[in-house]
Amino acid sequence: MRGRSHVPFGAPPHQRLRRMPRRPRRIAMLSVHTSPLHQPGTGDAGGMNVYIVELARRLAAIDIEVEIFTRATTARLPPSVELAPGVLVRHVDAGPYEGLAKEDLPAQLCAFTHGVMQAWAGHRPGHYDLVHSHYWLSGHVGWLAAERWGVPLVHAMHTMAKVKNAALAAGDTPEPAARVIGEQQIVRAADRLIANTAEEAEELVRHYGAARELVAVVHPGVNLDRFRPADGRAAARARLGLPADALIPLFAGRIQPLKAPDILLHAIAHLLEEDPSLRERMVVPVVGGPSGSGLAKPEGLHKLAARLGICDVIRFRPPCAQDELADWYRAASVLVMPSYSESFGLVAIEAQACGTPVVAASVGGLPVAVRDGVSGTLIDGHDPADYARALRPFVREPGRADRMGAAAARHAQSFGWDTAAAATAEVYTEAMRERRRLRSGHG
């Protein structure tokens, strides 16, 4: 990655000139509600899963061992699984394996914490140098573990209740007050907070009272070996059985109101009403599975397509492995992301890395992920007519997808996991340095 992935957020310059202590040797990474082994796009698995897997792999590559603790959801998996050299996934028994909704997990945090402590008790003192928790549920376990072990806590929110509640989709369920309170407690407890973008850092300060000097911005990366243009759009379409010359707007992600796939379907209905001939030369894949509040109405999107009279152009596909997902990106004329909230929008970067432009809502981290007017188009609001308007140029100009796609691939090169991991390691080092300074009585 050529761009700078870690941006200090208020750290005094003289602090950054001091001699840096050693990096951590081994960290405990916590992901209570979703396992890095789960298929992204199913249930609660999504961008955070990809984030944790890729970050852990790259940290191990720079000699920081990672042990990821996650809740066991099946008896078939062993207590620990090696995800990659230097990366171990530990399955913790906490509640029933199946049928436990994310909303019920706070009641299992005590059991999960007990499992983490049991694993730690089997090691010599000082086994973990630091705790890195992901999402607020993990933050509460990390808070206790870090205090018990006498090590720093680094926390990444990924999403925040106050931000989500301020931009709810119609009919979506607000995040509960318990989560808001829990997030505020974690912000006060953490030694460092990692935000995906400067905007997210500002939200932590504004909504949760985070200390500016404790917030660092680290842009997530993309696996540029997997997500790349490869052999091009035509070859990918042939592999997926898609027409070679069709207009293909793609939705990829979890099917839930937050991600707003319904906006795309309404936009497609607009386009077909204006130009019925498009039915013969347009395919709209929707790749993903129900998640979150979308689980309450798993067939809702299918029924909407039927009501809009567009079933003939929509192709619903289940979540797929990352290599196949890369082919869906390559095959598409454009990726459409009408989300109401995105902490960063890894899907947008992955698609661009494959040479596909993006039409996205101008929310959260998407203005960082997408270069408006160059690698894609950003839209204020969620009016389907605006998304239809942004898709029309792809109808009129057959070369637009290739032209903007080439710019998108160049733009995505500035987001690599190696630099993201190095920047995260720097945050770890700073947290350890501050902990040592306070212990020595210089605070």
How far is 329 from 352, CA to CA, in rounded Å?
8
The answer, yes or no, to whether residue 307 has pLDDT greater than 50, is: yes
Name the residue with higher pLDDT: 187 or 75.
Answer: 187
Give the whole-angstrom CA distance, residue 205 versus residue 214: 10
pLDDT of 11 strictly over 70: no
* H helix runs in 322-416, sequence order: 322-331, 346-353, 366-369, 384-396, 400-412
Helix (H) or strand (E) holding 84: strand 80-84
Report how far apart, in Å, the C-alpha atoms of 326 and of each of 234, 317, 380, 429 are: 14, 14, 27, 34
Q: CA 281 to CA 313: how far, in whole Å?
A: 9
pLDDT top residue among 426 and 439: 426
Q: State yes or no: 132 annotated in a binding site.
A: no
Question: Taking 90 as the threshold, does the pLDDT of residue 13 lie above it?
Answer: no
The tokens of 161 are what?
């209740």
Instruction: Give the integer Cα–Cα distance in Å for 257 and 17.
Output: 46
Quick one: pLDDT band at residue 341, thresholds 50, 70, 90? confident
**How confident is the model at residue 131, as a pLDDT?**
98
In this predicted structure, what is the pLDDT of residue 15? 47
399 is in an annotated binding site: no
Give the percent of the chain with pLDDT over 70.
91
Mean pLDDT of 13-23: 54
Residue 72 marked as a ligand binder: no
139 assigned binding-site residue? no
> pTM score, two decimals?
0.82
DSSP for residue 255: B
CA–CA gap between residue 258 and residue 267 (Å, rounded):
17
329 is in an annotated binding site: yes
pLDDT in tens, 155-206: 999 999 999 898 888 778 899 999 999 999 999 999 999 999 999 999 999 9
User: Over 80: is that where the pLDDT of 81 sits?
Assistant: yes
Residue 253 reports pLDDT greater than 80? yes
Q: Is 96 annotated as a binding residue?
A: no
Predicted local distance difference test score (pLDDT) of residue 17: 44
At residue 248, the pLDDT reads: 98
DSSP E strands: which ranges in 227-348? 249-252, 284-287, 314-317, 334-337
Count of positions (residues) in the chain: 443
Q: Residue 290: what pLDDT?
A: 79
∠ CA 417-319-29, rounded to 5°: 40
Q: Are strands 87-92 and 80-84 parallel, antiparallel or unpaired?
A: antiparallel
How far apart (Å, rounded) are the C-alpha atoms in residues 19 and 291? Answer: 46
- How far apart CA 169 and CA 45 sit, in angstroms, is 20
3-state SS track over 15-32: HHHCCCCCCCCEEEEEEC
What does each C-alpha distance from 418 to 82, 181, 227, 425 come to in angstroms?
20, 34, 15, 11
Please report the domains of the chain, with CATH numbers, ordered by start residue.
6-221+416-439 (3.40.50.2000), 233-412 (3.40.50.2000)
Helix, strand or coil, per DSSP, at residue 165: helix
Q: Is 342 annotated as a binding residue?
A: yes
User: Residue 97 — pLDDT band, cuts 50, 70, 90?
Assistant: confident
Over residues 126-146, the pLDDT tens digits come to 999 999 999 999 999 999 999
pLDDT of amino acid 345:
86
CA nearest neighbour of 89 among 111, 61, 56:
56
Of residues 22 and 320, the one with the higher pLDDT is 320
Cα–Cα distance, 264 to 256 (Å, whole number): 13
Q: How confident is the model at residue 18 (pLDDT cuts 50, 70, 90)?
A: very low
Lowest mean pLDDT among 112-116, 330-334, 342-346: 342-346
> What own/partner pairs with CB < 8 Å and gap ≥ 24 does 320-325 have?
320/41, 320/287, 321/39, 322/40, 322/50, 322/223, 322/226, 323/226, 325/40, 325/41, 325/252, 325/287, 325/350
Is 135 annotated for ligand binding? yes
> Which letter does DSSP use for residue 127 in this model?
-
Average pLDDT, the chain: 90
* β-pair type (284-287, 249-252): parallel
Nearest 5°: the CA angle 389, 391, 393 is 90
Average the pLDDT over 341-348 and give the result: 89
pLDDT at 8: 54
Over residues 296-319, the mean pLDDT reads 90
Percentage of the chain beyond pLDDT 90 is 74
pLDDT score, position 14: 44
* Residue bearing the bigger pLDDT, 35 or 55: 55
Q: Average pLDDT of 215-237?
A: 94
Alpha-helix runs per DSSP H in 5-108 = 47-61
Residue 256, marked binder: no
E-strand ranges in 158-265 read: 192-195, 215-218, 249-252
Residues with Cβ within 8 Å of residue 91, at least 6 apart in sequence: 35, 70, 71, 72, 77, 78, 79, 80, 81
User: Per-residue confidence at 12, pLDDT binned at 50, 70, 90?
Assistant: very low
Q: Is 223 annotated as a binding residue?
A: no
Structure confidence by residue, pLDDT tens digits, 386-434? 999 999 999 999 899 999 999 999 999 989 899 999 999 999 999 999 9
44 marked as part of a ligand binding site: yes
Is 39 marked as a binding-site residue? yes
Is 48 annotated in some ligand binding site? yes
Give the pLDDT confidence score for residue 100 in this predicted structure. Answer: 83
Look at 58-62, 187-191, 275-279, 317-321 and tell me which has the smallest mean pLDDT. Answer: 317-321
- 19-33, 80-94, 258-272, 360-374: lowest mean pLDDT where? 19-33
- Residue 350 annotated as binding site: yes
> Residue 362 is encoded by which pair of tokens?
């101008």
Judge whether 40 is annotated as a binding position: yes
Res. 77 pLDDT band, cuts 50 70 90: confident
Read off the tokens for 77.
């998996």
Using pLDDT thresholds of 50, 70 and 90, give the confidence band for residue 1: very low
So what's the pLDDT on residue 141? 98
Give the number of other Cβ atoms within 10 Å of residue 104's Cβ. 11
